[in-house]
């Protein structure tokens, strides 16, 4: 009985479990270039990474969104949040300001309170880090 299983039935079972060879890709198969997702979708993915504190991944998605649609405000809001989290305050400030500039109306910009607060906070932090200009005291020649 074991001989029958070993010789007769085991072989077809073993052959059935072997992976099939991939189909042959001939010259007639057209390879399409990669298309970036929409800016909105990239921002959604960036937000997903941002919530999980994967800032490098979020940053690349927000940058992708800004490249795909340079006038999409959400891309710049995301960039501002990530840059602020990773300590690039000057870039964060510029991104928040661009976000406010790209909003479709003045009313929408005025309603973007969080971004306005972030701009004010970053400007204050950046000003406090900049050393005051030292005025040269003229030498008194006698």
Chain segment 6-53, per-residue pLDDT in tens: 555 555 555 555 556 565 555 667 888 877 789 999 999 999 999 999
Residue 102 has pLDDT above 80, yes or no: yes
**What is the model's pTM?**
0.66
- Tokens encoding 79: 């960039």
pLDDT at residue number 86? 96
Is residue 18 one of the residues assigned to a domain? no
Residue 45's domain comprises 39-129
- Tokens encoding 100: 């406010």
Q: Assign residue 37 a region: left if phi > 0, alpha if psi is -120 to 50, beta otherwise?
A: beta
Is residue 111 one of the residues assigned to a domain? yes
Please report, for the domain that includes residue 88, its CATH number. Answer: 1.25.40.10
């Amino acid at each position: 009985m074991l001989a029958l299983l070993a010789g007769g039935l085991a072989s077809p079972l073993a052959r059935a479990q072997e992976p099939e060879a991939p189909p042959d890709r001939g010259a007639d198969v057209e390879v399409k270039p990669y298309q970036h997702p929409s800016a909105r979708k990239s921002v959604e993915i960036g937000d997903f990474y941002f919530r999980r504190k994967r800032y490098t991944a979020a940053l690349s998605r927000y940058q992708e969104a800004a490249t795909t649609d340079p006038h999409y405000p959400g891309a710049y809001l995301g960039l501002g949040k990530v840059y602020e989290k990773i300590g690039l305050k000057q870039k964060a400030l510029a991104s928040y300001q661009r976000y406010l500039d790209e909003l479709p109306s003045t009313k929408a910009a005025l309603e973007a309170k969080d971004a306005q607060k972030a701009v004010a906070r970053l400007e204050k932090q950046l000003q406090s880090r900049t050393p005051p200009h030292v005025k040269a005291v003229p030498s008194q020649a006698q």
